[in-house]
Chain A
Amino acid sequence: MTTINTRESAEDQTVGTKKAGGFTATAANYIDERTSISGAVKELGRKIFPDHWSFLLGEVALYSFVIILLSGSFLTFFFQASMAEVVYDGSYAPLKGVPMSVAMSSTMDISFDIRGGLLMRQVHHWAALLFVAAIGLHMLRIYFTGAFRKPRELNWVIGFILFILAMAEGFTGYSLPDDLLSGNGLRIIDGLVKGIPVIGTWTSFLLFGGEFPGTDIVGRLYSLHILLLPAIIVALIAMHLLFVVVHKHTQYPAAGRTNQNVVGYPVLPVYAAKAGGFFFIVFGVVMLIASLFTINPIWNYGPYDPSPVSAGTQPDWYIGFADGAMRLIPPGWEFVWLNHTYSLNIVVVLAVVGLFIVTVMVYPFIEAWITGDKREHHVLDRPRNAPTRTAIGAAGVTFYASLWAAASSDIMATHFHLTMEGVIHTLQATTLLGPILAFFIAKRVCLALQKKDREIVLHGYESGRIVRLPGGEFVEVHQPVDEYERWKLVSYSDFKPLMLRPNAQGKIGPAEKVRAGLSRWFFEDRITPITQTELSHAHGDHPAAITDQEHQSEITDK
């Protein structure tokens, strides 16, 4: 592999352009003399970014956020966040003469009276759905490849907060049109908040500016939606990306890549072309979806009214897990004690969902504590090479998926002709037992894959070619992997269960005992990476390997 000296060539080019003169050089000189920008170009212009499809997930999230900002700004020029009542008099005939809030009426006007308005609304909504989905997938990629390890723990936390804020943005935006569906969503929030012990009643009262639904909530959510939350998100995205620059991007294990280098394409020109082009692809795909598929047809739902509701109500997908959790609570979880109402059917949901997401946030610190590993990690783990982590992730995904599926329990029941009770009971079971099952399956699959990797490194691939030995014995020729391919299979970090030893005072503290227990749970089934000795040994005694060497020319001649 030929490498290029990135820094020097960048300098050469700068000097070259200046000598050439002309408008570009004059303009560049003008700007540099006022901003010192050449320093930034020198530092970042040839910065290396590694390539992998999974690294695009974060880019999708970033680009959908840009799309949301662009389409959202357009919408703010027309949307009016007021709950004052008007009689609808727009172009959509079925709702003519219906009293509704100004918010709903202006959203109707965006959809039916402004050319391209519906398109921008749909771009905004689809991009929002994609934004949260891309963040979720990006987090799964980070998790399963161990990219959250030192020095990236804090960036994981920032990303986690962005995920929460993205959901908050989604929910506040969803509520703004003040249609029947979003009003029912707010009603559920009101009920949830009221169920919180001690502060619930007053919190709801202050949130809605009096009794539900009041006339304040849309305006308040609008402030959050277009001002406060986006400002925080922009600031956190800036920090998130700054950390990516400071840490330099992680890379998957491959020949030549080490923990001390980063291998890939320079920002200028290749990465800029690919990443910049990718923005337009994401934007184009969102635009295509928005021009072909309707999302959130508020004109079918009508304005909010506390009395009607349609069957099969569904929140946007990312709120589904919380809504599903509420449905899974068995009957009767509420009691009165000392003249106060304890709504366990709400408190337990908030506690379980809260505990789940906090666990996601602090996971990097838990794993770091268990391994005690203080080294920097820039080479990613293949998920199979961290079996317990991968299994925990699989358990988490199963748990989330069960809650999420529960948000559609009624639709599943009617669609597949099942009983409502049967669907709920099944999902209650998968919520509790599914994660345990998923843990064991994922862990065994990882260990099996690790064993397969060992097998391939030590004895090669099965080539499918059967050879008869002089003694009459038939063997299958195993084709060895080349050293570059082999490196991907053997280079991973290996850990032993923690050996408990007393400290200077001859004591073993309870925290250390817990840590040792967790460490054993994590690493007792470990499959060690292949050593040089093992490799030479395997090549020495394997009959197929001998056959292999005899037919070396034939095999390698590809």
Chain B
Amino acid sequence: MAKDDNGAEDVTAPDSPGEELAPVAASTAVVTRDSLVNPGFPPHRPRVTDLDHKEERKAERAVYTLFYVSIVGSVFAIAAYMAFPIVPEDPGSVRLNNLFIGLGLSLALLAIGIGAVHWGKALMSDHEGVDERHPVRGTEPVRARAVEIFQQANEESGFGRRTLIRNSLIGALVVFPLPAVVLFRGLGPMDQNPVELLHETMWKKGVRLTMDPSGTPIKASDVTLGSSFHVIPEGLSEMEHGRLEEKAKAAVLLIRMDPADLVESDERKTWSYQGIVAYSKICTHVGCPVALYEQHTHHLLCPCHQSQFDVENHCKVIFGPAKRALPQLPIAVDAEGYLIAQSDFTEPVGPSFWERA
């Protein structure tokens, strides 16, 4: 260790702020002999209630009046409970119930509080007291005795001497919680693998695109230029179980644009239908629904962390913390003119995960 004392010139002066409870290293602290001396307590200044009997009476009156006011508040709250019942289908009655019970209780509580504090400040003795501090560490005899007890316990048990017993015990104590860790595997279903589940959605070849939440199939001719639809796969709205789980992966945004505005890569030219494109609505950042569509810029905005996606360019990220473009759902039209999926998404939708790539 390098030394870091300040040499002999800095020594403790009695009554200086640096003077210590127990003599311990002050290290880089500077403690001088020449520091100013604590002048001791300033003279006590009496309050107006100490000097003026009238003021004291006034304070006393204020305190008990406040406590009586509190009783009035409590009674008012009980009365309000009865006088302002909740009338079914009338939100206004809920508001009145909330307001008047609350105001009564507020009055009851505040009056007790202000009264008690006023009592303490104006009427109770305002002479400050002084407690002595003692070092937090135990006194030397106590510490010595503590050490002795531990040594004696060690002696009598042989904890330090019988190392085989000690080490095997430590080993047992380390291992015994492990079964509890294993038990937590049961938090998730045993027969499912999240990685597989994340790679598939309800969409498959021929599934109709339907409106969210009604489940009405959408005809290509109904999608006018510039309009957008919130879409779920056919059959999702009737599901009994797992509806939200499927919806959290399968939600799609359908947009019709002027085909001239769409910049499509060669392999995806067949994924749209006359300017109608379908993209996953689940943000590739952390999974919020990318629900805000700005019609004149053709940008999608995620309201959670402001990632922006460009619908003209396969929903590539143009701003914000997301990295990947929104996955595109390849669509077509069936014989009756309804929009259908050509297949599932070709990549996992939603937030990134370790096993995704």
Contact = CB atoms under 8 A, between A and B. Distances in A.
B235 interface: no
Contact of B128 (A192, A202, A265, A334): A265
B303 A277 contact: no
A65 interface: no
A262 B323 contact: no
B128 A373 contact: no
A46 B129 contact: yes
A206 B185 contact: yes
Given A91-B89, A255-B40, A277-B116, A188 B131 contact: no
Contacts of A310: 303
B257 interface: no
Contacts of A184: 288-289, 304
Contacts of A370: 28
Contact of B306 (A276, A341, A420, A503): A420
B281 interface: yes
A115 B113 contact: no
A112 B115 CA distance: 35
A295 to B, nearest CB: 11
B-side binding surface: helix, strand, loop or mixed? loop
A243 to B, nearest CB: 10
Given A259-B133, A277-B114, A91 B86 contact: yes
A256 B86 contact: no
Contacts of A31: none
A502 B1 CA distance: 8
Contact of B27 (A332, A374, A484, A512): A374
Contacts of A475: none
Interface residues of A, number: 155
A331 B212 CA distance: 30
B2 A508 contact: yes
B172 interface: no
B131 A327 contact: no
Contacts of A327: 305-306, 320-321
Contacts of A111: 94
Nearest to B86: A115
B321 A331 contact: yes
A329 B187 contact: no
A167 interface: no
B285 A210 contact: no
A512 to B, nearest CB: 4
Contacts of B27: 371-374
A284 B115 CA distance: 13
A493 B29 contact: yes
A307 B324 contact: no
Contact of A247 (B117, B136, B187): B136
A535 B36 contact: yes
Interface of B: 1-4, 6, 15, 17-22, 24-30, 32, 34-44, 81, 85-86, 88-91, 94, 97-103, 105-121, 124-133, 135-136, 184-185, 187-189, 192, 194-195, 197-198, 212-213, 230, 232, 242, 244-245, 247-249, 251, 281-283, 285-289, 291-292, 301, 303-308, 317-324, 350-357
Give the 10 A-B residue pairs with the shortest CB-CB distance, closest first: A291-B102, A191-B286, A372-B27, A277-B116, A1-B41, A280-B113, A273-B120, A284-B110, A256-B41, A281-B113
18 contacts: A184-B289, A195-B352, A199-B354, A205-B192, A210-B245, A212-B245, A258-B17, A273-B119, A280-B109, A280-B112, A291-B100, A291-B103, A323-B305, A326-B305, A375-B18, A375-B21, A421-B319, A499-B4
Given A211-B249, A266-B129, A487-B38, 8 more contacts: A1-B42, A151-B136, A259-B19, A282-B113, A372-B28, A494-B30, A498-B4, A531-B36
